[in-house]
Structures are given as structure tokens and as C-alpha cells.
């Protein structure tokens, strides 16, 4: 697999494009803005519900794209036995989670939409692993399934009205909140402790499936189906990928839109999830589309600081030319370039710190 | 990576942080020179596996959310006010107090008027009154909140109440409790993926603290 050797943020798009193409994914390009209505009806699917809007020439209300997924869903074909596979590398405009101002963010991701097979689903998870791996850093992908969470709630008899609160508590591994909610719902202290342990559950995917079966999760219809899907994914991943994928009950995306596998990816050195994805069949249904969809997005803005510590020179060599003739300068530039180095030519030495080395023509090095 | 070597722990300056640190000491996870008078801000243990630093209590959650610290101890008031994206692993049951509404002894809530609320905790106050469907005007203050109703700046205050003695000394009474507050062990979400075992070891040690 290709691994990035230079600056991650510069090389990532081309490396990923080539990887996604090799898996049969086609490039999807959008215009920078769309009808506001496309996004406004499903705004809680977005990281932030806020959008930059403006009135188009024809008086229609438009929005700079806060997300790509909905455009792709709208454009995908609906045919039995067919899945459309697209990748994109596009700017989106939104307020990042926890932020207070709009940002232009380069988002790279892919979507697999239509009549999905088990392999399609496993392939997306595998591509998510490969996406994280190309950074050359240690990575982890936390995986869960909405059916597993529903099964967990069924097993412990969590009332329907309180499931959203329990889901929030699981998402933050919030033991005090789980204990409080259990007390409120008359759930025994033993079960409360077990639920807290499940909030902390994190095991490599292959081991986790067996562990959850032994804990009775295959007795519940929804969690049994979820476990079968997770097992299929685990068995399709390579051994090294499976080692980096953990089952973790804290991966919970919007329960109104997702209805299958959900995941979040982390790279060593970045303080939050850099990749998020999942199966959004409920969103498809709300948008009036047949079939299901699964995809992920990589938030490249979070990768900017991965190259910290490495000097980002404008060029390897600054060639200070003074009044030297252009022919001599050109010959010197060719010599430096031929040696595999980059060169910046300028008259004087001002700003020399931008380059790793300075050569002054007509002077001793 | 240098940071991978250590479990970075952000402790709140003051009595609470010292009490929490004593649990680390009891578990044999102490740092050299931490009790000595000095201007040093960062302390490491002899094995080079733990690194402690003291920060302003209200900043602990930011250090943890941004990954500068892997774990930290923050008050539930700070977590409710700033809602950092962190794991809230354990209630240390230290620094127990409550978030409450207080007012002058003779305060009568007039529902026909907008309620003026002085507080340091805009979000907590805003959410509390939104849940009651009450129209309010929040007056953000940074200290001496009790002064606001006395000088007619606000009708009520939303603030932390420990014993109630400060309220009493200023002729104020607790009007209603919003929620209980105590110190929580929090963890950075990405750190849990790469240093999960170390973090859970600390969490389990705290769970058996008594």
C-alpha cells in the first residue's frame, strides 16, 4: 500500500484518489452550492446545522455545501443488484463541532449506495482502515452497530423514552450519568455496573464478536443480526486491519439517520476522530430513496498539524544570484535540480531562513 | 513520539487537585519534586510514564479535549457549561456542591416580567430556564455574583453553592437546585484509543479509592 513520505496534507488527496479508484470508486464532483432545501430538511445529519446561504440569480435560496453525502444520495441510481460507488475530494463550508465560525474544509470521502451486499459493507470499512493507514501513523478504527446498541438496551430493559439519554451517556462513556439514569429507571445496581462496563468495552473486532456472543447478545434478534454483520466485516478485513479495529459501544452517530455499522477513526497524534462514517439507510428512506448507503469522510483539517516538527522550507536551496548573468544562474539552477533538490532564486539573501541551505553565486559556499 | 511515553495528567490547582494527586501517590504513581516549592509546572514520575501538570481548574477540560492532557479532573459545572467532547469516566465524589438559583430573602418571582439572571454559567442558566419555558435576561459576571441582586443588577443568581454560608451572609437564600456538582475524571477520546490500558488503570485505582 502507498504510504505518504512527504507532507501528509499535500500528498493525501492524490494517494487516496488512486486507492479509491483501484476499488472501482468513481470521482464525484459537485458545484460549490446547491438548493438550501436539500440540506435544511436533514440538518441534524450534518456536523453543524448552520449553513452559508445566499439568494441565487433566479431568486432561489442556495447554500454553500456543508456536506457531500446528500448530493450523492440524490444522484445515485436505483436499480436492483446495483451499487454506485463514488469518492470525492471537495471543499465543504460549515462550523466545525465546538467551533464558532464557518470554515472551508477539504473533505475527502466515499459513498457506496444502492442494493448493498455484505462485501460492499466490509469493503467500505476496509477502505476506511486503508485511508487511515496511508498517513503512516498508528491508527485505530472504533466500530459499532446500531442493532448492537438497540440489543443492549433491549437486554437491560431500557425504556424507549430514555434510550436517547442512555445513548448520550454511552457516547461519552459517562459512568456517573449511566448510574443516574439506571437509578431513575429502577434498574438494579448490578445491571447498572454491567452497563458501565459495556460503556468501557473495547476489544479487537474478532475477539469482541465471540465475547459478545458468550454474553448472550446473539439471543436478541437485533444484536444477533448486528453481530453477524460485524463478523462478516471482521473476516473480510486483513489480519493487520482487524488488529486496528475495535468494537466500542461509544460509537453512536445520529440514531435517526444511521441503521447499521457505524465507525470513527483515530490517528496517533490527533486529539479527536479524523474519520467518521456509517450506514445511513434511514436517511436514504427519509430522502425517498430505495436501498441503503454506507460511507465515510476524512476531515483533513484535523491532519494539518501532523507535520509539526518538520521544517516546511520553501525550497531546499536558496540561490542568491546578485548581478550574475542569467545564463550562469540557469546553469547553476539546472545543476541543483538535477541533484534532486528544489531551488529558489533571488537577488539578495533576505528571508534566507525560508530555505534549508543558501548558496551565493560568486562566493565561497 | 515523545508524548506516547507519558500519560499526561492535568490536575486542577488548589485543594481538589492536591487531594486527587494524593490518590496517585497512594497507588505508587507519584512524581518527583511535586511537593517542593518551585516555579516548575510539569512533574514526571521516576519511571517516566506519568506526567502531571497543574492548570487553572476551568482550563482542565480544554487541555484534555485538545489532547495536551490525556486525562484530567474537572468539575461537573465546567463540563456542563462548556460541554467539551471528552469521556467522563468516573465521579470522584470530591468537591461536592450544587448549582442553584439564589435570590434575596424577599424575592417573589413575577412571571409577567423577564427574569434577570446574573451568573458565570450562561449555558447552564440558559438551559435550565429554557426547560422551564421562562423568559430571562442573562447578565454574565466573572465574580462576586452575590452582589448582583443586592444592588438591583439582577433578580436572581445562578451559581455554585457549597454550604450556603456566603448566601446567608449576604441576605440571600437558595431558591431552587439545578443539579449536583462534583469532580469527574475525564479522558481525551483519542488518548483512550492509544493509551486506554493506562487510563483504565488510573480509573480503576480511583474507583477503589476509599
User: Which of these ranges, A72-81, A130-139, A322-331, B168-177, has the smallest mean pLDDT?
Assistant: A72-81
Write the class of the CATH domain A1-137+268-311.
alpha beta
User: Which of these ranges, A49-53, B14-18, B179-183, has the smallest mean pLDDT?
Assistant: A49-53
pLDDT at A4: 59
> In chain B, what percentage of residues exceed pLDDT 90?
72
For domain B97-180, the CATH architecture is: 3-Layer(aba) Sandwich (3.40)
pLDDT at A225: 94
Q: Hey, is A344 helix, strand or coil?
A: strand
pLDDT digits (tens, 9 = 90+) for B55-105: 999 999 999 999 999 999 999 999 999 999 999 999 999 999 999 999 999
Q: Which chain A residues contact residue B184 at CB under 8 A?
A: 176
Judged against a pLDDT cut of 50, whether residue A200 lies above it is answered with yes
Domain ranges of chain B: 2-95+182-207, 97-180
pLDDT at A365: 45
d(CA A70, CA A72): 5
Contact assignment for B190 to A271 by CB distance below 8 Å: yes
Confidence of residue B1 (pLDDT cuts 50, 70, 90): very low
Q: Hey, is A204 helix, strand or coil?
A: strand
**Is domain B2-95+182-207 classified as CATH 2.130.10.10?**
no
The reply to whether B97-180 shares the fold of B2-95+182-207 is yes
Q: Which chain B residues contact residue A266 at CB under 8 A?
A: 189-190, 193-194
Q: How far is A105 from chain B (nearest CA, A)?
A: 19
Q: Which chain A residues contact residue B89 at CB under 8 A?
A: 173, 175, 200
CB atoms within 10 A of CB B165: 9
Domain ranges of chain A: 1-137+268-311, 139-253, 315-360
Confidence of residue A267 (pLDDT cuts 50, 70, 90): very high
Please choose, from the candidates A134, A128, A96, the residue with its C-alpha nearest in 3D space to the C-alpha of residue A294.
Answer: A128
| Residue in A with minimal Cα distance to B93 | A176
Which of A181, A271, A308 to probe by mutation at the B interface, max B CB count within 10 Å? A271
Q: How far is B209 from chain A (nearest CA, A)?
A: 16
Confidence of residue A242 (pLDDT cuts 50, 70, 90): very high
User: And the C-alpha cell for A109?
Assistant: 470521502
Confidence of residue A2 (pLDDT cuts 50, 70, 90): low
Please choose, from the candidates B38, B1, B39, B41, the residue with its C-alpha nearest in 3D space to the C-alpha of residue B17.
Answer: B41
Strand pairing class (A275-279; A261-267): antiparallel
Q: What average pLDDT does this structure show over A88-108?
A: 86
Contact assignment for A175 to B88 by CB distance below 8 Å: yes
B190 touches A: beta carbon within 8 Å: yes
Q: What average pLDDT does this structure show over B173-200?
A: 95
pLDDT at B197: 92
Confidence of residue B41 (pLDDT cuts 50, 70, 90): confident
User: Which of these ranges, B18-22, B33-37, B61-65, has the smallest mean pLDDT?
Assistant: B33-37
Q: Which chain B residues contact residue A177 at CB under 8 A?
A: 88
Mean pLDDT across chain A: 90
- What's A174-202 look like in SS3? CHHHHHHHHHHCCCCHHHHHHHHHHHCCE
Contact assignment for B190 to A98 by CB distance below 8 Å: no
pLDDT at A112: 97
Contact assignment for B200 to A272 by CB distance below 8 Å: no
CB proximity list for A305: less than 8 A, separation 6 or greater: A269, A270
Judged against a pLDDT cut of 80, whether residue A310 lies above it is answered with no
Judged against a pLDDT cut of 80, whether residue A298 lies above it is answered with yes
Q: What average pLDDT does this structure show over A266-273?
A: 93
User: Which of these ranges, A215-224, B22-31, B159-168, has the smallest mean pLDDT?
Assistant: B22-31
Amino acid at each position: 500500500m502507498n504510504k505518504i513520505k512527504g507532507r501528509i496534507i499535500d500528498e493525501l488527496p492524490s494517494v487516496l484518489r488512486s486507492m479509491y479508484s483501484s476499488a472501482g470508486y468513481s470521482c464525484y464532483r459537485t458545484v460549490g452550492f446547491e438548493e438550501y432545501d436539500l440540506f435544511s430538511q436533514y440538518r441534524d445529519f450534518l456536523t453543524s446545522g448552520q449553513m452559508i446561504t445566499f439568494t441565487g440569480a433566479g431568486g432561489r435560496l442556495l447554500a454553500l455545501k456543508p456536506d457531500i453525502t446528500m448530493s450523492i444520495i440524490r444522484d445515485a441510481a436505483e436499480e436492483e443488484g446495483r451499487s454506485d460507488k463514488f469518492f470525492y475530494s471537495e471543499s465543504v463550508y460549515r462550523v466545525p463541532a465546538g467551533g464558532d465560525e464557518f470554515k472551508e474544509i477539504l473533505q475527502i470521502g466515499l459513498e457506496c449506495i444502492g442494493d448493498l451486499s455484505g462485501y460492499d459493507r466490509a469493503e467500505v470499512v476496509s477502505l476506511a482502515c486503508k485511508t487511515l493507514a496511508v498517513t503512516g501513523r498508528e491508527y485505530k478504527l472504533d466500530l459499532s452497530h446500531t442493532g448492537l446498541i438497540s440489543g443492549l438496551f433491549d437486554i437491560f430493559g431500557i425504556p424507549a423514552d430514555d434510550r436517547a439519554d442512555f445513548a448520550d451517556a454511552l457516547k461519552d462513556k459517562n459512568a456517573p450519568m449511566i448510574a443516574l439514569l439506571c437509578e431513575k429507571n429502577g434498574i438494579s445496581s448490578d445491571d447498572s455496573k454491567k452497563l458501565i462496563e459495556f460503556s468501557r468495552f473495547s476489544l479487537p473486532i474478532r475477539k469482541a464478536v465471540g465475547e459478545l456472543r458468550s454474553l448472550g447478545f446473539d439471543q436478541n434478534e437485533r444484536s444477533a443480526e448486528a453481530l453477524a454483520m460485524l463478523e462478516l466485516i471482521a473476516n473480510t478485513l486483513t489480519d493487520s486491519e482487524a488488529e486496528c479495529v475495535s468494537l466500542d459501544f461509544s460509537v453512536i452517530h445520529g440514531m435517526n439517520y444511521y441503521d447499521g455499522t457505524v465507525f470513527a477513526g483515530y490517528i496517533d497524534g490527533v486529539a479527536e476522530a479524523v474519520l467518521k462514517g456509517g450506514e445511513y439507510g434511514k436517511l436514504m428512506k427519509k430522502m425517498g430513496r430505495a436501498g441503503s448507503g454506507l460511507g465515510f469522510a476524512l476531515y483533513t483539517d484535523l491532519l494539518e498539524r501532523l507535520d509539526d516538527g518538520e521544517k516546511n522550507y520553501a525550497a531546499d536551496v536558496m540561490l542568491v544570484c546578485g548581478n550574475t548573468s542569467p545564463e550562469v544562474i540557469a546553469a547553476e539552477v539546472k545543476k541543483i535540480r538535477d541533484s534532486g533538490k528544489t531551488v529558489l532564486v533571488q537577488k539578495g539573501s533576505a528571508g534566507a531562513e525560508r530555505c534549508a541551505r543558501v548558496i551565493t553565486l560568486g562566493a565561497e559556499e | 513520539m515523545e508524548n506516547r511515553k507519558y500519560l499526561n495528567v492535568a490536575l486542577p490547582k488548589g485543594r481538589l487537585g492536591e487531594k486527587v494527586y494524593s490518590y496517585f501517590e497512594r497507588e505508587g504513581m507519584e512524581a518527583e519534586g511535586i511537593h517542593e516549592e518551585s516555579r516548575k509546572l510539569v512533574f514526571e514520575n521516576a519511571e517516566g510514564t506519568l506526567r502531571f501538570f497543574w492548570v487553572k481548574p476551568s482550563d482542565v477540560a480544554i487541555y484534555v479535549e485538545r489532547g495536551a492532557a490525556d486525562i484530567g479532573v474537572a468539575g461537573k459545572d465546567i463540563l456542563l457549561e462548556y460541554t467539551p467532547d471528552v469521556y467522563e469516566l468516573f465521579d470522584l465524589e470530591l468537591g461536592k456542591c450544587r448549582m442553584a438559583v439564589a435570590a434575596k430573602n424577599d424575592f417573589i418571582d413575577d412571571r409577567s416580567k423577564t427574569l434577570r439572571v446574573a451568573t458565570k454559567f450562561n449555558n447552564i442558566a440558559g438551559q435550565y430556564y429554557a426547560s422551564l419555558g421562562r423568559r430571562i435576561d442573562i447578565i454574565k459576571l466573572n465574580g462576586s455574583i452575590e452582589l448582583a441582586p443586592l444592588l438591583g443588577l439582577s433578580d436572581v443568581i445562578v451559581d455554585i453553592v457549597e454550604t450556603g454560608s456566603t448566601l446567608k451572609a449576604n441576605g440571600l437564600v437558595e431558591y431552587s437546585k439545578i443539579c449536583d456538582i462534583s469532580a469527574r475524571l475525564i479522558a481525551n477520546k483519542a488518548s483512550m484509543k492509544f493509551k486506554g490500558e493506562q487510563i483504565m488503570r488510573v480509573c480503576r485505582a480511583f474507583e477503589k479509592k476509599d
